[in-house]
Amino acid sequence: MKLRHTTTARRSLTMAAITAGLVLTVAGCGDGGSGDGDNAEGSSSPTTSAQKSEGAESSAPPGSTDKVLAEVKGEGGITLTVTSAAQDAGGFVTVQGTVVNGTGKAWVPVNWRGDERELMANGGSIAGAALVDEANKKKYLILRDTEGRCLCTRFTGGVRNGQTAEWYAQFPAPPEGTTKLSFQVGAMPPAPIEITEGE
């Protein structure tokens, strides 16, 4: 008689423990995607060139896509791709893309930083890039802060052979209605792009 009561009591305790475990599991998984778990994925920062190329710095805003607006090759094996060119309400254009080093050696884009003395402090960067508006005969240089730092990617440490680095550059917006421009940097051929309206 005592054995039957003991077995029944143990079964009851086991069932209670299993039920409590299931309730905790369901509660843990049922945050509906609005808790901290959402921050781990939904608010991740954009992939920077530092993640694809050791040492490259970028604080690029999100928005780069797999769509290719233009792709040019030059400088002994460098491939430059433009994936996004969006005009923001703030009065500037953000151009983003990738660069692939196919030169057979490490590459530091020294001639991409521009000839202006103010831009020399940016080191190996894309600070010397420009948007060229052939229709209106205008050239837009990269925006910079009060200390001469470009609003662009700095390839600190360069790009290793075979690696891909992401980049971005911000320019003043062209006149309203102007959408077709050319992106130019260093000795690379001009890359014709079309600007879209940002969000």
User: Model confidence over 143-166: pLDDT tens digits?
Assistant: 998 888 889 999 988 999 999 999
Mean pLDDT for 46-70 is 51
Are 94 and 112 members of one domain? yes
| Angle at CA of residue 180, ends 176 and 183, nearest 5° | 115
Instruction: Read off the pTM.
Output: 0.66
- The CATH number covering residue 153 comes to 2.60.40.10
Are 38 and 53 members of one domain? no
How many other C-beta atoms lie within 10 A of the C-beta of residue 106? 12
Q: Which whole-number Å values give the CA distances from 46 to 52, 122, 155, 186, in the listed order?
A: 12, 21, 16, 26
Are 130 and 159 members of one domain? yes
Range(s) of the domain holding residue 34: 2-42
Domain count, the chain: 2
